[in-house]
Structure 1
């Protein structure tokens, strides 16, 4: 057998002791984990925990395994939202298929899990819009997915909204640029697969009765074209409106979750202007990078935006109290030590792991606003956190998507 692993190799050291010479279906149960309500797969897929991480193991032909290994590696290096690939095992005995190893995305949820939740606060339209954002992002990068579906997408909460991640890239192809025909074909494939998956949910009584699977699936191309047009269209306006129109366009793109690269503004003698914006294809990260610079926290983009807003408000309060400017690095350090960390450390042990720490902090800020509105004055983060831990977090289902949670569920 041969193993091919991406650096750092030590990340997968524990995996090398697993019985890759056997078919995944014959592995002993104690080596494997059950991930609840995962998506449907055409291949044999198993999960295991090694070194504090959960890994997905998929048996596929070697050609496809090498192809997917290379593509997922590219996606990760470029910041495209996808699972992280670790390695492949080839030349297994008896002409067995290769095994592709990816790291399971922590705090992520499958569409089946989301629809199985009793309170059903996340609608099928939200998931579809989130998946369309992912598809547009991939198409901007010249990626023809070829198998876009809810099953091949994982969803992760990001400050109350969702971010979608590609899971399966075995049918994907990379081009310098996709033609309109390639994009339309990929969208048509997605519409068919999503319709079939929603019909399956309906048959299992997991879909709300008011939802028409075909109608929802047929709306996917419309949603896609609207977003593609918003991201790529040229705007024409009077030169006098230049500053306002450019700012509005950039803000709309940021609100949609896209970073902006190069901006081209062409003026004409008649006083008109044409605006073309190059949209970055990587996962947006301006707020994430800024928060990491100031605090060392690694979170998702919307979470970072919300935490930065709280940090800036904290800094303003410090400056008001001291009567002097406070450097942003000093404010970042003090906010982390005096505001963020005490809240995270106060999460009750039996509730830890239900949501990512940054998501918990975001929800506490939301809860603080709600309590303050009700009380008619600011109740403060400490009181809001106590109330949230007592009344809100216990109602949040245990997502079972972190190594400790999954392993704990097996014991």
Structure 2
């Protein structure tokens, strides 16, 4: 472990250095209360408390290859710099070896988003059709925000999103940026590609839940996924189509500003 390399936030170095990086992540003990909070991932992921206190911060740790870990760390930093709704990166851990000197995967560490939950936990509880619609709206709004920043997600899905509840409303946050990339401005073709990926992923994820008996019999996964895309298109049209306003017509200007706020945007964002 002498060559262990930690690249990240200076204030977290002490906590990170004390973690058992010589063990494979799947062998790390995980608080039972955190298990359901991490959802499903193609990678090995663990949620780990930084200390033993009741209100301890929580790290989300994902094993991957060094190239992907560093790339995603940089993307998440840039997304945070641009105030995108996403998790905050903490560090990349490289040059890990076990006690016998065998190489272990690199790890990407992020801050767990407080009060957020993966979609499976939310949909497995009692939830109304209205709340499901609000989750779809939140995912559509997240994708619009990312596209406005010039970010092509490449793997938009419920699994790569965390949801934070506010009464019967939801806010959505990107949790996995591994496939993403920034462009100066996304082309219509790039946006449509992201929408196609989203349509397929969301429908497949909901179909899995329906087969498992989590969703009601009348829930159509394809129609629900199409609803996300329709909401995205309405948002994008409202934000990007030119509006001709008379600057001297105060009521018209205030009406346009209220419409942006109703859609979840501040005027300066668009």
Give the TM-score normalised by the residue count of structure 2: 0.89
Query: 2-side partners of 1:131 and 1:195: how far apart?
Result: 13
Query: 2-side partners of 1:240 and 1:219: how far apart?
Result: 35
> Are residue 3 (structure 1) and residue 16 (structure 2) matched?
no
Structure 1 position 32, deviation (Å): 7.9
Query: 1-side partners of 2:80 and 2:32: how far apart?
Result: 26
Query: 2-side partners of 1:198 and 1:247: how far apart?
Result: 39
Query: 2-side partners of 1:177 and 1:85: how far apart?
Result: 24
**Higher fraction of helix:** 1
> Are residue 250 (structure 1) and residue 257 (structure 2) matched?
yes
Match of 2:96 in 1: 92
Single out whichever of 149-158 and 178-187 deviates more from structure 2. 149-158
Query: 2-side partners of 1:174 and 1:167: how far apart?
Result: 16
Query: 2-side partners of 1:62 and 1:147: how far apart?
Result: 20
**Residue 34 of structure 1 aligns to a residue in which SS?**
helix
Q: Which of 156, 164, 183 in structure 2 is aligned with 1:148? A: 156
1:122–1:154 distance in 2 versus 1, CA, 3 Å:
farther
Match of 1:214 in 2: 222
Match of 2:46 in 1: 46
State whether residues 114 and 120 of structure 1, in contact with CA within 8 Å, keep that contact through their aligned partners in structure 2.
Answer: no
Query: 2-side partners of 1:2 and 1:32: how far apart?
Result: 29
Structure 1 position 30, deviation (Å): 6.0
Query: 2-side partners of 1:149 and 1:135: how far apart?
Result: 10
Structure 1, unaligned runs of 5 or more: 262-278, 281-411
Give the TM-score normalised by the residue count of structure 1: 0.60
Q: Which of 258, 267, 270 in structure 2 is aligned with 1:260? A: 267
Match of 1:25 in 2: 26
Match of 1:125 in 2: 133
> Are residue 177 (structure 1) and residue 177 (structure 2) matched?
no
Query: 1-side partners of 2:30 and 2:222: how far apart?
Result: 41
Structure 1 position 245, deviation (Å): 1.8
Structure 1 position 220, deviation (Å): 2.5
**Residue 158 of structure 2 aligns to a residue in which SS?**
coil
How many residues matched?
259
Deviations 1:261-283 (A, max 9, x none): 2xxxxxxxxxxxxxxxxx34xxx
Q: Which has the larger radius of gyration?
A: 1
Match of 1:344 in 2: none
1:35–1:183 distance in 2 versus 1, CA, 3 Å:
same
State whether residues 145 and 171 of structure 1, in contact with CA within 8 Å, keep that contact through their aligned partners in structure 2.
Answer: yes
Query: 2-side partners of 1:152 and 1:5: how far apart?
Result: 22
